[in-house]
Amino acid sequence: MIRYDILKTLLPIISDTLVVCNIGLPSQELHKLDDQPSNFYMLGTMGLCSSIGLGLALSQPQKVVAIDGDGSVLTNLATLSTIANNVADNFVLLIIDNGSYGSTGDQPTYAGRKTSLTAVAEACGCENVVECSAEETAGAVKAALASDQMTVIVSKCESGNVAVDVIEMNPVVIGDRFMNEVRRQNSGG
Amino acid sequence: MANAIDRKIVDDLIKNEIGFITTVPCKQLAGVIEVLDQSNQVMHVPSNKEDEGMGLCAGAYMGGKRPCIIMQNTALGVVVNTLATLIQFYQIPLPMLISYRGEVGEKVACQVEMAVHTKALLNQLAIPTYHFSHADQVGELDGILKHTQMAKKPTAILTDARFWGSAQ
């Protein structure tokens, strides 16, 4: 299974959940599969998906899933220490670990070689770290959301992408639509 | 050890409903950070690097909290891409309270090397910039914080050694 296949299996679980999605192909694939006001698409800024997700989770009570990648987390590796030390039990960090920089031509990342992001997350002090296969990912996300405990999931999958279009939405529209959805969920709407 | 100006700065932040602050420390900002940690009106999440901090701030803003980042001017070497592609592109109001190292009164020569680029970088990024070099100028902070929210832009408040020295 590649990332696109995992995203498809996740839709029934995350469709109404606040999602912060990683730059490039992950956001484009999610946008193609299931564009929702509850999705925040990153159009730029490599590495900050997990940070945006944590900031959002710490600032309001609704559940947040950040769909990040191994290359992105390696770019901002210290994020795992910030996450570990600022526990938000409404936060799930899903690292789709396909061992490659998918958006730039599938160059290998170090996570596909010697480096274990699962071990790094644990060493940073993250208390609930789950490494799973692509096939197990939807179940792991569902369990993490139900657990009310901050969870880091490292989903080991195959490298590969599908052909998708660039997101043409204006960033301010993406942000405004998302913030309205955050407010709606928090007002019980 | 915090003094009156540190408390005044934190009071202004709270008065302007800043609810989320991330910091990367600087000696000049130690008093402000100390006062922040004594307050229960603002969430303080230290970050390891300033671009990470701006990611946290973007998330906090979308979660309904007004963010602020406290950092050194040397960090401008780290955050150019994040300011352009996240904070400015998505129009997130973000006051940056910046310790302006390398200005008159600096003791560490290396700090001057980034000081000479500081205003040029901010100017290139078209970021509204305010330079405090005397303690009296702290009175402008309240207005700058309001202006930041209105404009939905990042703004830079540069505080140099003379500012902190005159506040003793």
Q: CATH number of the domain that B77 lies in?
A: 3.40.50.970
DSSP conformational letter for A167: P
Can you give the residue range of the structural domain that contains A160? Answer: 3-186
Look at residues B114, B112, B148 and name the one whose alpha carbon lies nearest to residue B130: B148
**Reported pTM:** 0.98
In chain B, how many domains are there? Answer: 1
pLDDT value at residue A103 = 87
Between strands A107-108 and A100-101, the pairing is antiparallel
Q: Using one digit for the tens of pLDDT, what is the confidence trace for A143-157?
A: 999 999 999 999 999
E strand spans, chain B: 18-23, 43-44, 66-72, 94-100, 129-132, 154-160
Considering only CB atoms, A182 lies closest to which of B49, B51, B63, namely B63
In chain A, how many domains are there? Answer: 1
CATH of the domain at A157: 3.40.50.970
Considering only CB atoms, B56 lies closest to which of A44, A51, A171, namely A51
Residue B62 covered by a domain: yes
The answer to whether B62 and A176 are in contact (CB under 8 A) is no
Look at residues B44, B150, B60 and name the one whose alpha carbon lies nearest to residue B97: B44
Containing H/E element for B76?
Answer: helix B76-82
Inter-chain touch A81–B48, beta carbons under 8 Å: yes
Q: Using one digit for the tens of pLDDT, what is the confidence trace for A80-138?
A: 999 999 999 999 999 999 999 988 989 999 999 999 999 999 999 999 999 999 999 99
Question: What gap in Å lies between CA A107 and CA A63, rounded to an integer?
Answer: 33
Q: Could you list the pLDDT tens digit for every one of the 168 residues in chain B?
A: 789 999 999 999 999 999 999 999 999 999 999 999 999 999 999 999 999 999 999 999 999 999 999 999 999 999 999 999 999 999 999 999 999 999 998 999 999 999 999 999 999 999 999 999 999 999 999 999 999 999 999 999 999 999 999 997
| Chain B residue closest in CA terms to A185 | B63
Look at residues B161, B164, B146, B132 and name the one whose alpha carbon lies nearest to residue B5: B164
Whether ipTM tops 0.95, in short, is yes
Q: Tell me how many degrees the CA angle A180-B51-A33 measures, rounded to the nearest 5.
A: 45
Task: Report the mean per-residue pLDDT for chain A.
Answer: 97
Inter-chain touch B59–A52, beta carbons under 8 Å: yes
Question: What gap in Å lies between CA A123 and CA A118, rounded to an integer?
Answer: 9
Res. A189 pLDDT band, cuts 50 70 90: low
B117 near A CB under 8 A: no
| Chain A residue closest in CA terms to B22 | A55
3-class SS of residue A160: coil
Chain B residues within an 8 Å CB radius of A186: 64
pLDDT value at residue A14 = 97
Considering only CB atoms, B60 lies closest to which of A50, A55, A186, namely A55
Residue B146 covered by a domain: no
Inter-chain touch B51–A76, beta carbons under 8 Å: yes
